[in-house]
Amino acid sequence: MAGSFDVVVVGAGIVGAACAYACARRGLTVVVLERAGLVAGATGSGEGNLLVSDKLPGPELELALFSNGLWRRWAAELGDRYGDIELEAKGGLVVTGVGPGADGAAGLAGLRETARAQSAAGVLVELLDPAGVREREPAITPELAGGLYYPQDMQLMPAKATAALLAAARDHGAEVRLRTEVTGMLRDDGRVVGVRTGAGPVAAGHVVNAAGAWAGKLAGLAGADTPVAPRRGFILVTEPVPPLVRHKVYSADYLANVASGDAGLQTSTVVEGTPAGTILIGATRELVDFDRRHNAEAVRRMAQGAVRLFPALAAVRAMRVYHGFRPFSPDHLPVIGTDPRIPGLVHAHGHEGAGIGLAPATAHLVAQVLTGERPDLPLEPFDPARFSSEVETAGAAA
Ligand SMILES: Cc1cc2nc3c(=O)[nH]c(=O)nc-3n(C[C@H](O)[C@H](O)[C@H](O)COP(=O)(O)OP(=O)(O)OC[C@H]3O[C@@H](n4cnc5c(N)ncnc54)[C@H](O)[C@@H]3O)c2cc1C
């Protein structure tokens, strides 16, 4: 047996790294098992936005607000000991009525309603007229109806944050084993008591499923039905330019795309700068399984939308395009907590396009569950068994 731990975390994306950090600093013995290298999954594709602006009142917004505070605390705790995670509290800007022909009045009415609801739920939000928007973003098109400003929205560099969390977890005694694929679960009288890997079995009190878009497959090894699916997204990256975009800026239809479960191509305009000077342009969403082929139409629409929002981008060259697979959950809520069907199995996945933002709160709740503390947020909305009450029987040692 290759060791025995309180917790095996499967997956070294941002959620697995955050779980390892939150558990190890509470004194649990932790090993992270990752079949590839660091940030081999969606985390390596994420823009790194930590948003409250794109969530309506409900459990996900509560998780986001909680995470927002934790990211600030964790960034201070990590300091610069593990490298700069590039946390920028730069704020977000949602705009409406962009371009000729857009229905600005309807867009503004929608934004007002969103702001009213979010504000009642604790989000800081400010309604801006076109002059107010241009004061915050001088290079934005003058052809818009108005916008909302969200001072709590932040951004960080996901790969650096993941590496920093894993390094800090190691300092608290955690082990990280890369190129170690989990291929089965160890079972004892129905309880998950560890995992099988190519390098031998690893015993553990609990197995945390942080396998991102592959979480359904991993849960299946334990006989748990978890309908998490990959939702593909492309990002267009420009050459580095002098500061042009100050905030995370996106069009209001992004909110509808995030909330939709439509399998077809959905695009909305999302633009933001990075400390390196590149500009990241998104966003697309498609349920096409793990299809890694290029989609020229998706990229064309993103580029057009970005130029409509920031006309100066027409003269900026695109440097590369990449894609990733968001872990999509059918009801748009993550899957967090112990599996009531399978003792020993704990879930931490299904965050779709918000896993970087929601990682700290998820990890905090997982650590609270594993140490027997009362969770700071209700876990019922994230119940792993909410999609199905059926448990397929897995072999005693699958
Ligand atoms: C284009 C794009 C932009 C995005 N932008 C943002 C953003 O701005 N803000 C935000 O919050 N979110 C964003 N997201 C979403 C975010 O990237 C994800 O929600 C988040 O990264 C999920 O992290 P994770 O750790 O759960 O999964 P992943 O990062 O996918 O990690 C899962 C890991 O598990 C490993 N694994 C799987 N199966 C096994 C196994 N059997 N054994 C061992 N290891 C295994 C995989 O190799 C992988 O490394 C974006 C996503 C995309 C695609």
Q: Which atom of ligand 1 lies at the shortest distance from residue 37's CA?
A: 49
Cα 130 to the chain's mean position, in Å?
Answer: 31
Question: Which residue, 179, 138, 170, 217, is CA-closest to 36?
Answer: 179
Query: How far, in Å, from the CA of 200 to the mean position of ligand 1?
Result: 25
Residue 149 tokens, joined: 């400003």
Please indicate, yes or no, if residue 393 is contained in any of the structural domains: no
Q: Output phi, psi for 261, to 5 deg.
A: -110, 15
Neighbours of 192 (CB within 10 A): 27
Does residue 222's CB lie within 6 angstroms of at least one atom of ligand 1?
A: no
Place of tokens 């590039």: 86
What was the pLDDT predicted at 99? 74
What was the pLDDT predicted at 389? 58
- Do 302 and 242 lie in one domain? The reply is yes
- Do 125 and 30 lie in one domain? The reply is no
How many domains does the chain contain in total?
2
Please indicate, yes or no, if residue 390 is contained in any of the structural domains: no
Ligand 1 atom 37: residue of nearest CA = 211
- Do 109 and 136 lie in one domain? The reply is yes
Alpha-carbon distance of 335 to 382, in angstroms, equals 5
Cα distances from 275 to residues 46, 88, 157, in angstroms, run: 15, 9, 9
Ligand 1 atom 9: residue of nearest CA = 49
- Do 141 and 180 lie in one domain? The reply is no
Alpha-carbon distance of 362 to 215, in angstroms, equals 15
- Give this prediction's pTM: 0.95
- Do 34 and 122 lie in one domain? The reply is no
Amino acid at 227: P
Query: Could you write out the DSSP letters of every residue in 18-77?
Result: HHHHHHHTTT--EEEE-SSSTT-SGGGT---EE-STT--TTHHHHHHHHHHHHHHHHHHH
The CB-side HSE value for 333 (13 A sphere, CA atoms) comes to 21
- Do 256 and 311 lie in one domain? The reply is yes
Query: How far, in Å, from the CA of 25 to the mean position of ligand 1?
Result: 23
- Do 146 and 235 lie in one domain? The reply is yes
Please indicate, yes or no, if residue 8 is contained in any of the structural domains: yes
Alpha helices in 187-342 (DSSP H): 215-221, 253-259, 296-309
Please indicate, yes or no, if residue 62 is contained in any of the structural domains: yes
Question: Which range marks the domain in which residue 289 is found?
Answer: 92-151+230-328
- Do 337 and 304 lie in one domain? The reply is no
Cα 277 to the chain's mean position, in Å?
Answer: 23
Alpha-carbon distance of 209 to 195, in angstroms, equals 11
What was the pLDDT predicted at 262? 77
Low-confidence ranges of the chain (pLDDT < 50): 391-398
Three-state DSSP class for residue 130: helix
Q: Describe the chain by its helix, strand, coil percentages, rounded to 5.
A: 35, 25, 40
What was the pLDDT predicted at 102? 81
Q: Which atom of ligand 1 lies at the shortest distance from residue 324's CA?
A: 53
Does residue 328's CB lie within 6 angstroms of at least one atom of ligand 1?
A: no
- Do 261 and 128 lie in one domain? The reply is yes
Query: How far, in Å, from the CA of 14 to the mean position of ligand 1?
Result: 7
Ligand 1 atom 12: residue of nearest CA = 354
Alpha-carbon distance of 227 to 251, in angstroms, equals 30
Does residue 159's CB lie within 6 angstroms of at least one atom of ligand 1?
A: no
Q: Output phi, psi for 103, to 5 deg.
A: -85, 85
Does residue 212's CB lie within 6 angstroms of at least one atom of ligand 1?
A: yes
Query: How far, in Å, from the CA of 237 to the mean position of ligand 1?
Result: 19
Neighbours of 165 (CB within 10 A): 29
Alpha-carbon distance of 323 to 183, in angstroms, equals 26
Please indicate, yes or no, if residue 34 is contained in any of the structural domains: yes
Please indicate, yes or no, if residue 183 is contained in any of the structural domains: yes
- Do 66 and 114 lie in one domain? The reply is no
Please indicate, yes or no, if residue 389 is contained in any of the structural domains: no
CATH number where 187 lies: 3.50.50.60
For a substitution probing ligand 1, which of 8, 43, 209 has the most ligand atoms within 8 Å of its CB? 43
Alpha-carbon distance of 261 to 217, in angstroms, equals 20
CATH number where 311 lies: 3.30.9.10
Does residue 230's CB lie within 6 angstroms of at least one atom of ligand 1?
A: no
- Do 115 and 12 lie in one domain? The reply is no
- Do 179 and 144 lie in one domain? The reply is no
**Which of 297, 328, 359 is the last residue before a domain boundary?**
328
Alpha-carbon distance of 272 to 53, in angstroms, equals 15
For a substitution probing ligand 1, which of 33, 47, 50, 157 has the most ligand atoms within 8 Å of its CB? 47
Cα distances from 177 to residues 36, 113, 181, 195, 228, in angstroms, run: 10, 48, 9, 13, 25
What was the pLDDT predicted at 392? 42
Please indicate, yes or no, if residue 246 is contained in any of the structural domains: yes
For a substitution probing ligand 1, which of 8, 21, 38, 45 has the most ligand atoms within 8 Å of its CB? 45
